[in-house]
Amino acid sequence: MTKKLRPFHHMRWNEPIIYQLSVSGQRGILVPEAEEEIRAIIGDGRSSIPDTMRRNDLPNLPEMAQPQVVRHFNHLSQENLGADSNIDIGQGTCTMKHSPKINEIFARSPKLADLHPLQDPSTVQGILEIFFRTEDLFREISGLDCCSLQPGGGTHGVLALASMVRAWHRDRGEDESRDEVITTIFSHPADAAVPKVKGYRVIILPPDEEGLPDLDAFRSVVSERTAAIFFTNPEDTGIFNSRIREFTDLAHEFGALCCYDQANANGLLGIARAREAGFDMSFFNLHKTFSSPHGCGGPATGLVMVDKKLAPYLPVPVVKQEEESGLYYLDWDLPKSCGKVKDFFGVAPVVVRAYAWIMALGADGLEEASRTAVLNNNYFMKKMLQIRGCSLSYPNHPARIEQARYSWEKLKEETGFGTADVQRRIADFGTHYWGSHEPWVVPEPFTIEPSESYSREDMDEYLEIMAEISRECYEDPETIRHAPHNSTVHHIDHDYFDDPGKWAITWREYTRKYEGYFRKR
Amino acid sequence: MSCERSDGIKRLGLIVNPVAGMGGSVGLKGTDGKDILQEAIALGASPRAPLRAAEALEELSLRKDGIEIFVFSGDMGASESASAGFRTVLLGAGSEGRLTSADDTVMAARLMEEAGVELILFAGGDGTARDMVMAVGTRVPVVGIPAGVKIHSPVFARNPAGAGKLADLFLFGSPMGLEELEVMDIDEEAFRGGIVRTSLYGYLRVPFERRHLQGGKSGGGKSEAVELDGVVREAASRMTPGVLYLVGPGSTTAALMRRLGCEHTLLGVDAIRDGRTTGKDLSEKEILKIVEPGNTRLIVTVIGGQGFILGRGNQQISPEVVRLAGKENIMIISTPSKLRSLIGKSLFVDTGDTLLDMELCGYIRVITGLGEETIFRVER
């Protein structure tokens, strides 16, 4: 570690929302009038649109000139922090990695951007072929048979799985009697939340002394009432459950389905598959692992793979190829389908980036990406554990895959500062880190995932920041207590933000909450 | 809650129970009651609480100019406060040569409440905590400095320095939440005879550090109030008409009773059927009279920080009651927040009936939210 810490300061523009910048009459582009001869043939254009389809009012769009628009969005981007602007390894479980810019060019190409999902399939054979071939690639990656690219995110992928679980048991007349779903405490919280949304009673398994899901606890609850198990592996601690087959076999003995949350797949590509672990279904996040940027609710895809016995229950439509003509088409004829989980058939730019990324790397390249991610994690872990006050969760199980959950428990005991304090201070160094998913079973937790994109120098720089913050906790408490110093936001009252009656992160949420959503109930 | 002074000076109450902890070093298991205390002194016990209080104040030494400490005179806190150099306000006279008793603690706490202190630090043990319940209940935030022999109540910090740090954070840090924590105490007489009999005496409000601050990714965080709402709604949805429910003590079960609109006692066992209270604060004998084998369910919560579900604070639900109701008819409810430190560890039973305790061991489901159960191992 030789690099010097950067004297960073975050940008603050106090940028208004774009509607507040609107000035009536301002224009970004003046569209030329149609020529006389065109007008002679077409007329005014407008009157050829039927009355019922023609809008009478102008759309409510901001009115701005080009330079103000450019400035506005530049300001917003400067207030942002993301994988393209910082060493983004502190957001463990999120697999923040670099998306090659060539894939962005593909995704933004007019050949893709100008398509519409309602076009006749005969006019979009190219994108359908990419969907179809992507399914092929994931057949190899997962070992499972059939695919849906419809879900628009990871949690949405869980929803697709849970919907298929319902459809499968309903078809067998067991929907009423199978009312329980089993998950583990270190699986992603969506694996508990989504089955609840589907009406299941969710049973959460604790970890054993090694941090692995407690197999005896599982034995005590799995039964004819179990509809499915939803497991993440490796779990959010970075620990790989190598006894997973015992869980899936036991679940199958009782007639339950096994659902695999493979959002944490970045350390397993080409190394371990859902099929061999005994899972019937799985989903992958094409965003994060496969070259679409992760985060901010942006375009994403939770690609679903299922065993062929579950193919009739996939969401409709599915992309298929006619044997004779070789043409691709959308198959809606799945009478047992769980239905639609999203409009149309998938988020095309995300699928294109994933396809391009996999094709560029090849099978060997995927495996090397995973091996590099695991190597990075182990390098980082070794150095991180040398920093004063830091320890590894479940030290009885020191092997971790692509991420690791750490604890500042000792730091807290010795200095009074914990993970929330470190989180505030790290903003002063131009990067960030994230506490960990609920529930905080590991005291004062944080989770680091240095994916294959990061160089040794990147990791060393991040480690240097962590070491400096630890030193300050012991030697310079006032600096920590009042941090962040170089950021735009300082101490905030979390209780206020956690009050479900008050927070509103979208305009729709705001109107629901502040205009009677709660009162209506 | 008290108002902050316009000059920004914080008002802190300090109560030292000078005799707390004196029994421990001479093997007396507590000093509740005058005779025992005399015996402890005769055995050569020396005051321990004042030293522990001084350790806690040491953590606040950088804040000397920003705090005013309200105390009783002499060995009830005045000497510790003054010798640590704090601005000290005397509210009354402490023991002054005579032995202090529970009444002194109660009186001091009440006067501090009147004086508008923002927080009371008290050095003592479970007995002192009980006095605090009697004096201020949940009206004034408190932090316990562990100085007694018996520390079963989670209202105490892990050590005196921890209590001082928590007071510092509460008075000078960013806004903190308060949680109601149990005050437990054992029957000292029985304890000296080798029997542990713990009862729940009430609740105190203690500042707590957010243990579950949310990252942006996992969406909305849940406050304990929201968790509690989910737990009691789930429990209520599982209740069946015609069945007799025996509802054990605790703030979680009390929330269930409030949701059902039933009269209840916070610290006792109540009986309800079809949404109506049919018995309040029942003794074991009274319970045995009404229990209906095959048609009775027990609703209990995890009491205290150590994870007991039976045998601490709810002894009215005796082995015989459990056997008559059937061990498969125990419903355990708790918020995830209360269980967080216990996850991956065990819950405990100590009914006093070894055979029953052994039968209760194994894995058990705890209702932890709407449509949600968490599995725990039960040990004895």
Check whether A44 has a pLDDT greater than 90: no
Interface touch B343/A220, C-beta < 8 Å? no
Quote the mean pLDDT of chain A.
92
Nearest to A301 by CA among A291, A309, A311: A291
CA distances (Å), B197 to each of B3, B193, B308, in order?
40, 11, 12
Task: Retrieve residue A202's tokens.
Answer: 């969710």
H-state helical runs in A174-237: 190-197, 215-221
Nearest to A341 by CA among A131, A148, A119: A148
Q: Write down the pLDDT at residue A495.
A: 63
Looking at chain A, which residue has its C-alpha nearest residue B340?
A441
A114-172 pLDDT tens trace? 999 999 999 999 999 999 999 999 999 999 999 999 999 999 999 999 999 999 999 99
Euclidean distance between CA atoms B238 and B254, whole angstroms = 17
| Residues shown for chain B | 380
- Among B103-112, B142-151, B256-265, the range scoring the smallest mean pLDDT is B142-151
| Rounded average pLDDT over B228-253 | 94
Q: Is B373 an 8 Å CB contact of chain A?
A: yes
Interface touch B220/A503, C-beta < 8 Å? yes
Q: Write down the pLDDT at residue B251.
A: 87
Choose among A205, A209, A437: nearest Cβ to B375.
A205
Q: Write down the pLDDT at residue B208.
A: 78
Q: Which residue has better confidence, B200 or B245?
A: B245
| Rounded average pLDDT over A189-213 | 94
Choose among A185, A196, A200: nearest Cβ to B343.
A185
Choose among A220, A494, A499: nearest Cβ to B375.
A220
Check whether A64 has a pLDDT greater than 90: yes
Choose among A220, A491, A499: nearest Cβ to B363.
A220
Q: Write down the pLDDT at residue A294.
A: 83
Q: Which residue has better confidence, B304 or B106?
A: B106
Residues of chain A with Cβ-Cβ distance to B370 below 8 Å are 196
Nearest to B331 by CA among B266, B211, B240, B210: B240
Contact between A331 and A181 (Cβ < 8 Å) = no
B246-284 pLDDT tens trace? 999 988 999 999 999 999 988 889 999 999 999 999 999
Contact between A307 and A281 (Cβ < 8 Å) = yes
Looking at chain A, which residue has its C-alpha nearest residue B218?
A437
Q: Which CATH class is domain A110-358?
A: alpha beta
Euclidean distance between CA atoms A253 and B380, whole angstroms = 32
Task: Retrieve residue A452's tokens.
Answer: 């294959």
CA distances (Å), A493 to each of A80, A501, B173, B176, B227, in order?
22, 15, 11, 8, 19
Residues of chain A with Cβ-Cβ distance to B215 below 8 Å are 91, 434-437
Write out residues 223-282 of B within 8 Å (CB-CB) of A.
Answer: 223, 226
Contact between B144 and B159 (Cβ < 8 Å) = no
Q: Is B365 an 8 Å CB contact of chain A?
A: yes
Nearest to B81 by CA among B62, B116, B56: B56
Q: Write down the pLDDT at residue A35.
A: 92
A404-453 pLDDT tens trace? 999 999 999 899 899 989 999 999 999 999 888 777 788 899 999 999 99
Determine which of B302, B343, B367, B376 to mutate to test the interface with A (most A C-beta atoms within 10 Å): B343
Q: Write down the pLDDT at residue B28.
A: 61
Read off the pLDDT band of B195 (50, 70, 90): low
Interface touch B377/A217, C-beta < 8 Å? yes
CA distances (Å), A471 to each of A348, A388, A389, A474, in order?
47, 8, 9, 5
Interface touch B375/A206, C-beta < 8 Å? yes
Determine which of A481, A498, A499 to mutate to test the interface with B (most B C-beta atoms within 10 Å): A498
Q: Write down the pLDDT at residue B200.
A: 84
Check whether B210 has a pLDDT greater than 70: no
Residues of chain B with Cβ-Cβ distance to A207 below 8 Å are 343-344
Cis peptide before A439 (omega within 30 of 0): yes
Q: What type of residue is A338?
A: C
Tell me how many degrees the CA angle B335-B337-B342 measures, rounded to the nearest 5: 100
Euclidean distance between CA atoms A101 and A331, whole angstroms = 33
A300-351 pLDDT tens trace? 999 999 999 999 999 999 999 999 999 999 999 999 999 999 999 899 999 9
Q: Write down the pLDDT at residue B4.
A: 54
A347-395 pLDDT tens trace? 999 999 999 999 999 999 999 999 999 999 999 999 999 999 999 999 9
Gyration radius of chain B over CA positions: 22
Element (H, E) at A372: helix A348-384
Choose among A202, A435, A481: nearest Cβ to B371.
A202
Check whether B103 has a pLDDT greater than 90: no
Check whether A496 has a pLDDT greater than 80: no
Nearest to B253 by CA among B330, B361, B184: B330
Residues of chain B with Cβ-Cβ distance to A478 below 8 Å are none
Nearest to B22 by CA among B51, B52, B46: B46
B343-369 pLDDT tens trace? 767 898 988 888 999 999 999 999 999
Contact between B8 and B31 (Cβ < 8 Å) = no
| Rounded average pLDDT over A209-220 | 94
Q: Write down the pLDDT at residue A183.
A: 98
Interface touch B169/A91, C-beta < 8 Å? no
H-state helical runs in B60-216: 78-83, 102-115, 126-135, 160-172, 188-192
Quote the mean pLDDT of chain B.
85
Q: Could you give the 3-state DSSP secondary structure of residue A304?
A: strand
Chain centroid, CA A137 distance in Å: 20
A226-267 pLDDT tens trace? 999 999 999 999 999 999 999 999 999 999 999 999 999 999
A-B contacts (CB, under 8 Å): 114
Q: Which CATH number fits domain B10-208: 3.40.50.150, 3.30.2090.10, 3.40.50.10330, 3.40.640.10?
A: 3.40.50.10330
Looking at chain B, which residue has its C-alpha nearest residue A210?
B344
| Rounded average pLDDT over B288-296 | 95
Phi/psi for A457 (5° steps) reads -65, -40
Phi/psi for A189 (5° steps) reads -55, -25
DSSP string, B33-78: SHHHHHHHHHTT----HHHHHHHHHHTTGGGGGGEEEEEESGGGTH
B302-311 pLDDT tens trace? 876 678 899 8
Write out residues 340-359 of B within 8 Å (CB-CB) of A.
Answer: 340, 343-344
Residues of chain A with Cβ-Cβ distance to B344 below 8 Å are 185, 206-209, 211, 441
Nearest to A183 by CA among B343, B231, B375: B375
Cis peptide before A234 (omega within 30 of 0): yes
Contact between B359 and B330 (Cβ < 8 Å) = no
Interface touch A206/B374, C-beta < 8 Å? yes
CA distances (Å), A434 to each of A93, A208, A427, A429, B167, in order?
10, 25, 11, 14, 27
DSSP string, B318-343: -HHHHHHH-GGGEEEE--HHHHGGGT
Residues of chain B with Cβ-Cβ distance to A184 below 8 Å are none
| Rounded average pLDDT over A28-51 | 89
The residues spanned by each domain of chain A are 110-358, 493-521
Cβ atoms within 10 Å, residue A404: 27
Terminal CA-CA length for chain B: 41
Residues of chain A with Cβ-Cβ distance to B302 below 8 Å are none
Q: Could you give the 3-state DSSP secondary structure of residue B300?
A: strand
Q: Could you give the 3-state DSSP secondary structure of residue B122?
A: strand
Q: Write down the pLDDT at residue B154.
A: 84
Strands B362-369 and B372-379 turn out to be antiparallel
Distance from CA of A254 to the nearest CA of B (A): 19
Check whether B211 has a pLDDT greater than 60: no
Looking at chain A, which residue has its C-alpha nearest residue B377?
A217
Contact between A14 and A52 (Cβ < 8 Å) = no
Nearest to A328 by CA among A114, A109, A127, A107: A127
| ipTM associated with this complex | 0.86
Contact between A313 and A171 (Cβ < 8 Å) = yes
Residues of chain A with Cβ-Cβ distance to B375 below 8 Å are 203-206, 214, 217, 220-221
Task: Retrieve residue A237's tokens.
Answer: 């601690």
Read off the pLDDT band of B149 (50, 70, 90): confident
